[in-house]
Amino acid sequence: MKVVIVGGVAVGASAVARIRRLDESAEITVFERSGYISYANCGLPYYIGDVIEDPEDLTLQTPESFFTRFRVNMKIRHEVTAIHPDRKTVAVKNLETGEEFEESYDKLILSPGAKPTTPPFPGLDSEKLFTLRTVEDTFRIKEYIREHQPKSAILAGGGFIGLELAENLRQLGMDVTVVQNLPQLMTPFDPDMAAFIHSELRSHGVKLALNRTVEGFAERNGGIDVLLKDALPIHADMAVLAIGVTPDTALAKEAGLELGIKGSIVVNDHMETSVSDIYAGGDAVQVKHFVTGEDTLIPMAGPANKHGRIIADNICGLDSHYKGSQGSSILKVFDLTAAVTGINGMQAKAAGIDADYVILSPMSHAGYYPGGKMMTMKVLFEKGTFRLLGAQIVGYEGVDKRIDVLATAIRVGMNATDLKDLDLAYAPPYSSAKDPVNMAGFMIDNIANGVLKQWHLEDADKLPRDGSVTLLDTRTAGEYSRGHIEDFVNIPVDELRERLNEVPKGKPVYVICQSGLRSYIASRILEGSGYTAYNFAGGFRFYDAVMNDRRMNEAAYPCGMDR
């Protein structure tokens, strides 16, 4: 069996290793148009920021090491220029010598990946404008910084690459601005949770220009202007275009393969394309979302490596299926860790799913053990069925552990109420006897049983101020004096039983505290005394963080800024 692979990074390298382990006699040839194979895309920003110092650490394998271990013909600087399914060949060009030839295959694997999205902006040819996708891109940015010592940079795009670069360039001492055409960064997160990411960036001196649309670039005064719609340009010494990626599927289109979202390659759960004996995986393919079942694009390293293994299994006679992506991801933002899995509230609404959520602010480990740090968790579930839909966590320690537990719970089809029953490891330096994941399950179980009624941030402006409801803040008088929601009266939870006469009967009571715990206790006191009480999800700490972020967003770059 002769296998030809187009692309030697995640899918290609994973498929190579698996095929060889399953079939010692297979003839395997990989064509990679760049000069590197099996490199760590996710590590590229950290090389730019000197966190990773040795460039050789970015490449997990070399053509020589692959041949030594797997006896694979790994052809770097070779570009496949056409696919001929009718005669089962690919046209190849040696980018070093210019030689062109055809290579036959029995099975063809396409892993071309994705390319940086580059709209037809003016100024894309500027030597001060960069994209970051390959090792070569990384070296180009690194060399520019070394030679020109730029003092400022603008990152057009607020996704993973944009924020990782923002951190690394800032730690090199550069003045950094992130421009995003939406009111938030990191769209896998809901806007309320993204507020914590915004705050962390701002606290480290990163400027955010949100709701600003990039329209082009122009060199000026030895630097580069980022041109904005309906606003003044922003000027810096260099700029990086990181507004997303687009499936790199020109070859597939020309070969007549069925295409899907944004020109991605359509595959079945065996990773087979619409053309016999051609498989595809990675950032170039359309997948099913595990939670919604809808077609989607989720360009991430984890799924890509799984695609390669599944393709290899099926080529070698096994029966492997890809069961969908759920977008589990994690990001370091200076000292903060932000992680997500499943769908967020906006995605649930778009998919027609009636969703609810709980928000909690647990400590990373037992409160009596020193060094614990608070995290903020948002766990979404479907109303009525209590199907677990997704989770978002921001914090400093233990975020990765909790998001992986929740991702696993989604994958195995657990209901959100089942989280309370998980038997999770506990010792004071690592967790609490009631782990944060358990606590989310307890809260959702209370909702399912009618013990807990909630109100949310989006309800705050809708609450009537005409006296038809009671608005109650159950924090201490000192906490209340340092900030509260207008029209909320203060009765500390520990005084509530003695002061129930101050709470009018026959009216719903909307309760808030700092984190949601004391207001929940107050709600139970009220419910036990004949009231109907609703507890605020997240507490005043959460409310204040989100509202402060909104004020900052509105104040920043009202008309653009020329620096």
Q: How far apart are CA 542 and CA 418, in angstroms?
A: 25
Residue of 42, 316, 513, 559 marked catalytic: 42
CA-wise closest residue to 129 among 119, 114, 140:
140
User: Looking at beta carbons, which pairs linking 263-271 to residues 24 or more positions away fall under 8 Å?
Assistant: 264/297, 265/110, 269/321, 269/322, 269/323, 270/310, 270/314, 270/320, 270/321, 270/322, 271/307, 271/310, 271/311, 271/314, 271/322
Largest CA distance in the chain: 90
Angle at 553 between CA 164 and CA 515, to 5 degrees: 85
Radius of gyration of the chain (CA): 27
DSSP structure class, residue 506 = T
DSSP 453-476: -EE-GGGGGGS--SSSSEEEE-S-
Q: How far apart are CA 117 and CA 112, in angstroms?
A: 15
DSSP 109-162: EE---EEE---S-TTTT-TTEE--SSHHHHHHHHHHHHHH--SEEEEE--SHHH
Structure-token pair, residue 333: 């933002």
513 catalytic per annotation? no
Mode of pairing for the β-strands spanning 278-280 and 107-110: parallel
DSSP 372-392: --B-EEEEEEETTT-BEEEEE
Catalytic residues, by residue number, are 42
